[in-house]
Every structure is written in C-alpha cells, then in structure tokens.
Amino acid sequence: MIIQNFNPLEDEMVTILDKEGEVVREDILPDIEDDKLKHMYKTMLFTRIIDTKTLQYQRQGRMLTYAPNKGQEAAQIGSVAAIEKEDWLVPAFRELGAWLYKGVSLDQIYLYWYGNEEGSRFEKDVKVLPISVPIASQLNHAVGIAMATNIKKENDVTLAYVGDGGTSEGEFHEALNFAGVFNTPNVFIIQNNQWAISVSRNIQTKSETLAQKAIAYGIPGVQVDGNDVLAMYAVTKEAVERARRGEGPTLIEAVTYRLGPHTTSDDPTIYRTNEEVEEWALKDPLTRFQKYLLDKGILTQEEDEKLRDEYADQVTQTFKKIEKTGADTKLIDVFKYNYAEMPPNLKEQYEEQKRYYEGGEK
C-alpha cells in the first residue's frame, strides 16, 4: 500500500521515474498496458501542443484570457487516467490534460476560452463539471456529488483538482471536513505548482507539506512527484480503489511547477527568477515520460515526430473553425441548460430576452 507507506509528516514523496525517465522504484511501478501508456503520452503531448499554440493565439489578440498548463501535464493525466468512464471529474480552470483524457473535445475547450457558453456544455456521457474559476469552490461541489453517490448507493468516484493557493481558502477545509465526516468517495488532487499567481508556496502556509493537511480531517494524505506520470497514476489508482471500496477520501499533493504564466494576464518575471524556471524545466514531465517509452520500445522517435505534426495541424484547424463561428452566440443561450426546470426569476428573464430576439434585434 503506497499511501500508507509514505508519510507526509516525514517529507516522503512518491517517485517512480527520475528526471531521466529511469525507474527508481520497481516495487511500486504500476502495471499499465502498453496501449494505455501510449494513450497517456499522446494526451500529454496533445496538451502541450494545444497549450503552446493557444498561448500564441492569445498573444496575437485572437482569443480571450487563457490559463496555461505547461509543466503540469503529468499531474493531470497521471491522475485522471486512474479513474473510469462512470467516475466524475471536477476541475478548477487549469486542467486541460484532464479534460481531454476524460472526453471533452478541443472544440468545446476553445469555445470556452473564446467566451462562448457552449464551451461549458459537455456531452451527457462525459461526466465533467464546467470550469470553476472561484478558487476552491469546486471542492464542495465534488463532495456533494460524492455524498449523492453514497445516498444513491452507486459506485462512482469523484476526482477533483485544486491549486496550492486553494488550500488557503475556507472551501478547501470545508470540503475535506465534510468528506471525512461522511466518508465520501472523493480523491482530491492539489496541483502544487509552487505559485498562487505571485504568492510563493513558501509563504502560502507554514505546513511542511500540503498533503499533511489531510491529517486534521482524519483522511490519508500523500505527497507525489507531480512531474512523474507513473507515480501520479499509481497513487491515484490506489486512492480510487479505496474510495470505491467505501474506505473514504484521499488527499494527494502533486509537486509540480507552472512553467508558464498564471494566465495570459500575468507576467511571472516580476516575481520569480529565470534560474528557478530553468531548474524545473530539467524535470519536464513530457520529456521524462517520452524517454521511458522510447527506452521500452513502446514509442519510436518517428512516431513521436509524426504525432507532433498531426497534433499541430489539428490544433490549427480546430482554432480556425472556432475563430469563424465561436462568436455566433446569443445572450439567450445562457438560460438553456443550467437547470432541468428553470426557476421563476430566470424564466422571467428568459422570456424577456426571447421577445427581444424575436423582435429582430441582436
């Protein structure tokens, strides 16, 4: 049992792959089929290419504010790959890799960042909540879903993400407290990327680790190398299995780094050094996983180069399509899918807007 054997109070961090892609802990190496390993890598690579090109589009003034993911691909994909189709994903706003792996299309993602409400409406069989910008508020939603799972005697698990800064929010503590008390099937992932906008992890909290915050709520907590996709998978898989057996929630701290800005409105050079960024770049999760797969013969250099070209073209074509049609939305659309039965106050507003549009005005 990995979670039991790594104590966050003793500064023990789970690592399986070192920065060179070499296995350093054979005893906890997860058994993952080659096809799944390749799918995980392909999603990480797709995430990186989307992220790089999207940042360029925003800088060209062709889309709205965007939250980059570069450097955090393993923390997301290693964890989301450990859940099943019927399980719930509850994101914050920096989970591009997790959305893609769980079935959210690039079209929908671009619609969201383009400012179109349709970007938050996923297919019915894609069990993902919309993006949540208010920090840590999504965690209470995740616990609510998990409580409903218990009440309905279902077997779903709810995986939720939050940043290191979110652990200083009241909602984080409320969610963990309720999850512990009601023994909910939750897995909480802290993406500790070292910076809450310009606030360093070092002055965010006096706790030695963020994982140890679980102790106050009577649930397990474990710190994981968030740039090691296999370590993230192994620990999350164990936490998911615990939850599914009715053993309650787990808190996982993924120690990673945001290589880019907090959002495209941010200038990280004001508050961190280039030396710090360069040091973390040597631990790049994508490069680390690529080296592992190449060494195992699961991936070839030729395949990798072909994928990069294909993904770059796919991203370009998808964005061009959204750029042409993404602005074609009406205010009235925001009323259409938030409620199964529209409450009276919104129904009144909806009817007012409907008359407005039917009158030929836009």
Query: What is the pLDDT confidence band of residue 360, given thresholds at 50, 70 and 90?
Result: low
Interhelix angle 106-113/34-59, rounded to 10 degrees, is: 30
Residue 329 has a pLDDT of: 72
* Crossing angle between the packed helical segments 34-59 and 301-325, to the nearest 10 degrees: 40
What are the catalytic residues? 258, 262, 271
Residue 362 has pLDDT above 60, yes or no: no
> In whole angstroms, what is the distance from residue 249 CA to residue 183 CA?
7
Q: What per-residue confidence (pLDDT) applies to 331?
A: 74
φ/ψ (deg, to 5) at 159: -100, 125
Digit-coded pLDDT (tens) for 218-277: 999 999 999 999 999 999 999 999 999 999 999 999 999 999 999 999 999 999 999 999
Q: Does domain 2-328 have CATH number 3.40.50.970?
A: yes
Q: Identity (one letter) of the amino acid at 247?
A: E
pLDDT number for residue 356: 81
Mean pLDDT for 136-144 is: 98
φ, ψ (nearest 5 deg) of residue 196? -100, 90
| Model pLDDT, residue 361 | 52
Kindly tell me if the per-residue pLDDT of 333 is higher than 80.
Answer: no
Domain ranges of the chain: 2-328, 330-362
